[in-house]
Amino acid sequence: MIPICQHCHTGKVNRPRQLCWNCYYSPGVRDCYPSTSKYARRGVGNFNGNAPVACEPTTAAPGTPEKMEIMAERARMRQRLWHPFDAEFAGDPKPLTVLEDSSRLKKVA
């Protein structure tokens, strides 16, 4: 049995994503079907490059649900997941000092 294109249902499949040649190279059609490759980029965090540092550190302790949400948000915004002044343990005063300094600078300006 010869597989047929999942978009036009007439052409013979000879391109990735179970598409025929015409559908695969038609504008917009390829984007409608997810990649079937095990090497495909998936998710919001799969990019290689120099990402900017997040604007503010977090006081959330590593491994907590709050920290996971913050890291997910940073990934969506294509920022670095870890800020240099993020809390390293519960009750770490390091991020608080950075946040206080930045709030003082905002009041002055």
The residues that bridge with 23 in the sheet, in sequence order, are: none
Per-residue pLDDT reduced to its tens digit, 55-68: 889 999 999 999 99
CA Rg value for the chain: 23
Per-residue pLDDT reduced to its tens digit, 67-97: 999 999 988 888 888 899 999 998 888 888 8
Cβ-contact 55, 25 below 8 angstroms: no
pTM confidence score: 0.54
Backbone angles phi, psi at 80, to 5 degrees: -65, 140
> 72 CB contacts (<8 Å, ≥6 apart)?
44
